[in-house]
């Protein structure tokens, strides 16, 4: 009986570990790498990372996200990991159990030699996808609905997500592909649920971001301020004209009423 229990416990822990591995590859591998090796300067390594030995730390990272400066394996990180509250506490613990066993040294591999797509036609396709001129195969919303990138004039794009002009400089091609493969930022995740980007679309977008990286950041705010200002002046002018017109009419109306009374 005791032996049976031991066997069952062993099987159970195996099942949990397997589960943890699967959950890891679904939710984390896109950014932290298949073996938790990370990407130097972009995604910290989890394998061999002493902080990852603490279950509570990992569970919190998963459920609440992490941002702000981190240092591990002689590298600094200052990125943004999205909160994933959709991963239950129990699943987060299974993932933590799995990541705590990932051996190795916490030295992140330098960005994988993902070739930076420089093909201008591919970048143009990425731009069209970003702007919504070309539809995503699986029907995801155009990025432009929530982000800006590069300078597309006064009404560049949405402001729900941040400006992505310097994305390529910050994350590199490997980082961009990680983020877009496992889309995890809450608002964005909802928007792409069941509508993943295809690898081809991801590489077109990466090529596009490689191009915008050299451009000056979007000065949307300035443009909007200028437009508002111009609008106010225009509005003020219009109002002035209307006032003159109206005050004339008012006199006219009063006179008409008076003249009607006297008539
Ligand atoms: C969209 C990319 C992305 C995904 C997906 C992601 N992470 Fe992260 N993770 C990051 C980034 C970026 C950081 C560094 C944040 C910082 O610099 O403060 C980070 C940091 C961490 C840390 C802290 C590491 C340290 O050295 O203190 C842990 C732990 C972690 N992630 C675990 C996970 C687990 C487990 C999953 C899957 C459930 C996951 N991450 C999914 C991007 C991601
Ligand atoms: C429904 C709105 C929405 C859509 C559509 C959307 N995003 Fe996002 N995205 C967000 C939000 C919100 C965040 C959270 C962080 C932020 O403020 O940028 C985010 C985060 C990101 C990040 C991580 C930011 C960083 O600096 O590390 C990248 C990269 C990104 N989005 C790229 C894209 C791309 C490419 C598309 C088009 C395929 C897209 N997004 C479509 C809302 C959206």
| pLDDT digit string (tens) for the chain, length 263 residues | 566 655 565 555 555 555 999 999 988 988 898 889 888 888 899 999 999 999 999 999 999 999 999 999 888 998 888 899 989 999 999 999 999 999 877 776 665 555 666 788 999 999 999 999 999 999 999 998 899 888 764 456 777 788 898 888 888 888 888 889 888 787 888 889 899 999 999 999 999 998 887 665 544 444 444 444 444 544 454 554 455 555 555 555 555 555 555 54
Q: Which residues of 170-193 are buried (b: 16+ CB within 10 A; e: fewer)?
A: bbbbbbbbbbbebbbbeebeebbe
pLDDT value, residue 257: 55
Distance CA 97, CA 173 (A): 30
pLDDT value, residue 95: 96
Using CA positions, which residue lies closest to atom 27 of ligand 2? 80
Interval between CA 6 and ligand 2 midpoint (Å): 47
- The finding on whether 47 has its CB within 6 A of some atom of ligand 1 is no
**What ligand 1 atom has the least distance to the C-alpha of 51?**
27
Sign of the Cα torsion 203, 204, 208, 211 reads positive
pLDDT value, residue 260: 58
Distance CA 245, CA 103 (A): 81
- The finding on whether 21 has its CB within 6 A of some atom of ligand 1 is no
Interval between CA 120 and ligand 1 midpoint (Å): 32
pLDDT value, residue 169: 83
pLDDT value, residue 242: 52
- The finding on whether 78 has its CB within 6 A of some atom of ligand 1 is yes
- The finding on whether 39 has its CB within 6 A of some atom of ligand 1 is no
pLDDT value, residue 212: 83
pLDDT value, residue 157: 74
pLDDT value, residue 117: 66
pLDDT value, residue 220: 47
pLDDT value, residue 221: 46
- The finding on whether 210 has its CB within 6 A of some atom of ligand 1 is no
Distance CA 123, CA 36 (A): 30
Distance CA 26, CA 176 (A): 17
pLDDT value, residue 10: 54
- Nearest bound ligand to CA 23? 1
Q: Using alpha carbons only, give the angle 106, 109, 114 rounded to the nearest 5 degrees.
A: 155
CB 62 within 8 A of CB 92: yes
């Amino acid at each position: 009986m005791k032996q049976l229990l031991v066997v069952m416990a062993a099987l159970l822990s195996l099942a949990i570990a397997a589960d943890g591995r699967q959950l890891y590859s679904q939710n984390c591998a896109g950014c932290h790498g298949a073996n938790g090796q990370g990407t130097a300067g972009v995604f910290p390594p989890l394998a061999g990372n002493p902080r990852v030995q603490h279950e509570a730390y990992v569970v919190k990272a998963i459920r609440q996200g992490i941002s702000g400066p981190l240092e591990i394996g002689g590298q600094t990180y200052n990125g943004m990991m999205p909160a994933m509250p959709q991963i239950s506490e129990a699943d987060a613990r299974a993932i933590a159990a799995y990541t705590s066993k990932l051996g190795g040294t916490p030295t992140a591999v330098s960005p994988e030699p993902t070739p930076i797509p420089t093909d201008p036609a591919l970048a143009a396709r990425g731009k069209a996808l970003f702007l919504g001129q070309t539809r995503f195969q699986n029907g995801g919303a155009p990025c432009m609905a929530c982000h800006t990138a590069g300078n597309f004039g006064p009404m560049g794009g949405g402001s729900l997500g941040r400006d992505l002009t310097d994305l390529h400089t910050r994350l590199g091609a490997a980082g961009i592909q990680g983020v877009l493969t496992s889309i995890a930022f809450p608002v964005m995740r909802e928007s792409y649920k069941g509508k993943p980007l295809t690898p081809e679309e991801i590489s077109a977008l990466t090529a596009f971001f490689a191009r915008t990286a050299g451009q000056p950041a979007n000065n949307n705010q300035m443009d909007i301020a200028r437009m508002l200002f111009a609008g106010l002046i225009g509005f003020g002018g219009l109002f002035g004209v209307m006032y003159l017109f109206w005050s004339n009419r008012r006199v006219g109306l009063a006179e008409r009423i008076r003249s009607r009374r006297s008539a």
